[in-house]
Amino acid sequence: MSAVFASLIPTFLIIATGWLCRITGFVNDQQWSGLERATYVIFFPALIVDTLARADLASVPVLGVGGALVGAILFMAGLMLALRPVLERHASLDGPSFTSVFQGATRWNTFVAIAVAGSLFGERGIALIAVAIAAMVPLLNLLAFYVFIRFAGRPRQSPKAILRSFATNPFIWSCALGLSLNLLAPPLPKPIVSYIDLMGRASLAAGLLIVGAGLDLRRLAKPGLPHALASACKLLLMPLVAVILAHYAGIGGNDLLVTIIAASVPTAAAGYVLARQMGGNAPLMAEILTLQTLIAMISMPILIGILG
């Protein structure tokens, strides 16, 4: 499982670089804020558009893999919402902190999944991850949006405002654009293709640097119940649920391994940016992401070996 380590170690090192840039004052707070906005609105969507537009979706089991991952997400989201009153009553977990636990238990790191699946299975692995992106990203953003509106203390919005916010969400419209380019296959000029590709590549480093900048290692040294719950659900329970559903859908072989990869990667760097943008507990989100990335270096190879 050298490909797993090869993708996770650089990820963790980039997070550490962002932390060093912040604590040394090399990058100030205003500069971090601008980078966050550019990453959320430009870099992440470019990666989604590029991956979906290039994928050969006709050659992979779209319904089986996509359905298993969607089912796993819905299971995890339902479990987190059911545990919300218990966490509030017995662990004093407030609304903004719950949004970080929810994101930590449900979201996935697209970049790690692409790196590992591409290293292990080439173009077919990338195509399957594109299926995962199309299936998971809109649903995860819809669920996250609901959780932030419901629990982060944001003012109530009208149904029209909610629909408009959802439609203009960068992750939603980028999925729609990427799928449209894939299905319609319009001839794009090479400079435009290169532009989208370069913007997408910038997203990984930018997103992880931002996560590192928000990290408080003093709190990470003493992880609590929110860290443990989010990590156990994301790195262990979600892959197990995805594998069970994939088996029922008749998915096996390398396709099953890619499904495991998509379900077992740590939570998304975009979750931290979203927490900053929408009033969540961003420091807790950064801690969960960093802790999961470290644990995943061990858990992913084990899960791929056992469940696959």
- Mind listing the pLDDT tens digit for each residue in 92-133? 899 999 999 999 999 998 878 888 888 888 888 888 988 898
pLDDT average, residue stretch 168-191 = 86
Joined tokens for residue 30:
């205003």
- Residue 20 banded pLDDT, cuts 50, 70, 90: very high
With CA atoms as reference, report the closest residue to 230 among 259, 267, 260, 265.
Answer: 267
- pLDDT on residue 157: 65
pTM: predicted TM-score of the whole model, two decimal places: 0.84
Question: What is the three-class DSSP state of 286?
Answer: helix
CA 127 to chain CA centroid, nearest Å: 17
Considering 10-14, 126-130, 131-135, 227-231, the range whose residues carry the highest mean pLDDT is 227-231
Tell me which residue has tokens 């400079």: 191
CA 182 to chain CA centroid, nearest Å: 22
Average predicted confidence (pLDDT) for the chain: 87
With CA atoms as reference, report the closest residue to 275 among 70, 98, 41, 75.
Answer: 98
- pLDDT on residue 267: 92
Q: What size, in residues, is the chain?
A: 308
d(CA 218, CA 82): 30
CB 261 within 8 A of CB 243: no
Which amino acid, residue 191?
A: P
- Residue 154 backbone phi and psi in degrees, to 5: -75, 150
Tell me which residue has tokens 């699946």: 117
- pLDDT on residue 294: 84
* pLDDT tens per residue, range 136-172: 988 998 898 889 888 887 666 667 777 777 777 788 8
pLDDT average, residue stretch 192-220 = 84
Which amino acid, residue 239?
A: P
d(CA 232, CA 99): 16
